[in-house]
Amino acid sequence: MSIRSLSSVLVFALLSGGTIAPLAAVGATANGTLTVTASVAKDCTLSSATLAFGSYDPVVANRTANLDQTGTITVTCTKNSSGVTLGFGPSANAPAACTTPARCMASGSDFLQYQIYSDTARTAAWTTPITETVTGGTTTPTQVTIYGRIPAAQDAAVGTAYIDTVVATVNF
């Protein structure tokens, strides 16, 4: 607005009996704060894993020696989660012939017993959830080793593929 226009407005306002309001200062600022919050949920996931024993030879190699193998399951939890346990359910194929806590792989009506363990010596059968230390978070998942054993001297049928599924559960 030019000075001439502003003068005309002031004169008109005074002649008409009005009042003149002060003009607001241009360029003034005020500050405040914005609080930003979030919470982090405790959560975990498991990767699907395979414990592959390979070839079992009940006549020569495994007549007196167990067939041992290892596998890995990946546990990914919120960073620094505590109280995390990992457990495995029963064998999906366990018939009455499978003695507890053994598990059985099946091929038709033939069964091959095996077990999973939480230790390298294969003395602690993994039948109940055990505590896992999970600290890495999503950028560094925790690798948990599964120790498997097929006991020696089982009367297994030749040429068949044995398979089983076991449900893995992470509690957090």
**What percentage of the chain reaches a pLDDT higher than 70?**
80
Q: Rounded to two decimals, what is the model's pTM?
A: 0.75
Reported as a single tens digit per residue, the pLDDT across 25-67 is 578 999 999 999 999 998 999 998 899 999 999 999 999 999 9
Could you report the per-residue pLDDT of 67-94, keeping only the tens digit for each? 999 999 999 998 888 888 899 888 888 7
Q: Where are the domains of the chain?
A: 44-171
Burial of 77 (0-12, 13-18, 19+ CB in 10 A): buried
Q: Tell me, which fold does domain 44-171 have in CATH?
A: Immunoglobulin-like (2.60.40)
Kindly report the average pLDDT of the chain as a whole number: 83
Q: Are 67 and 56 in contact (CB under 8 A)?
A: yes
